[in-house]
Amino acid sequence: MTRALIVIDVQNDFCPGGALAVTEGDLIVPGINELMADFDAVILTQDWHPAGHSSFASSHDRRAPMEMIEMPYGPQVLWPDHCIQGSHGALFHPDLTVDRADLIIRKGHNPAIDSYSAFFENDHQTPTGLEGYLRTRGIEDLTMVGLATDFCVNFSAVDAAKLGFRVTVREDLCRGIDLNGSMAAAHAGMAEAGVILA
Ligand code: VGL
Ligand code: ZN
């Protein structure tokens, strides 16, 4: 079976000192680098928003980061400005081994739709193209690591399981944001979808 490691959003803005810092986000980098040798393919995802993206609180009147709003595709958390295309914050953590990557998939570039998942934008319909890439390479088994456990890792893992991939999330190589119980909800959702939590 062809196995891929999918490294989700290990970018400066999600690490300590970044705009949307995840506690200990940088601590997972050495373990992820080591794990790369065990896989047939390594795929990195990169959150990649245009300035003024609709998921930013700053794009809405009188809204603060971490508030919720209703978007045409459903409820959306408003985030601080982060991972703006071409910015330092959007770059991968400097210690991440990017040379081993076969594919880098960028997401969140549509100004009107956020994209947590590596497979679909938050409308759950617009594909990123990753499914086609994996299927045409005959990859059926995915291991996911990265940031943040409760948002982009969670959405990517659940979508992959629904698409029929065998999915393992290495929780020791993920870190979460934990906004209003989102970690517990993510665990329950991933387990329910058949994701293996290791
Ligand atoms: C993420 C919030 C906004 C993530 C991305 O990578 O989990 N979270 N954009
Ligand atoms: Zn984002």
* Cα 3 to ligand 1 centroid, rounded to whole Å: 25
Task: Please work out whether the CB of residue 152 comes within 6 Å of at least one atom of ligand 1.
Answer: yes
State the pLDDT at residue 89.
Answer: 98
State the pLDDT at residue 1.
Answer: 84
Q: Which phi and psi (to 5°) does residue 45 adopt?
A: -110, 150
* Predicted confidence (pLDDT) per residue in 88-136, tens digit: 999 999 999 999 999 999 999 999 999 999 999 999 999 999 999 999 9
Residue type at 15 in one-letter notation? C
Query: What distance in Å separates the CA atoms of residue 29 and residue 35, rounded to the nearest whole number?
Result: 10
Within a 13 Å sphere around the CA of 73, how many CA atoms are in the beta-carbon half?
15
State the pLDDT at residue 34.
Answer: 98
Q: Provide the whole-model pTM.
A: 0.98
* Cα 109 to ligand 1 centroid, rounded to whole Å: 13
CA distances from 193 to 96, 134, 159, 166 (A): 29, 19, 9, 11
Q: Per-residue pLDDT averaged across 163-177, rounded?
A: 98
State the pLDDT at residue 93.
Answer: 98
State the pLDDT at residue 166.
Answer: 98
CA distances from 150 to 157, 174, 187 (A): 10, 9, 8
Q: Is 9 a catalytic residue?
A: yes
Q: Per-residue pLDDT averaged across 34-42, rounded?
A: 98
CA distances from 143 to 52, 80, 120, 198 (A): 33, 29, 18, 10
Query: What distance in Å separates the CA atoms of residue 141 and residue 171, rounded to the nearest whole number?
Result: 17
Q: Per-residue pLDDT averaged across 71-84, rounded?
A: 97
Question: What is the overall mean pLDDT for the chain?
Answer: 98
State the pLDDT at residue 19.
Answer: 98
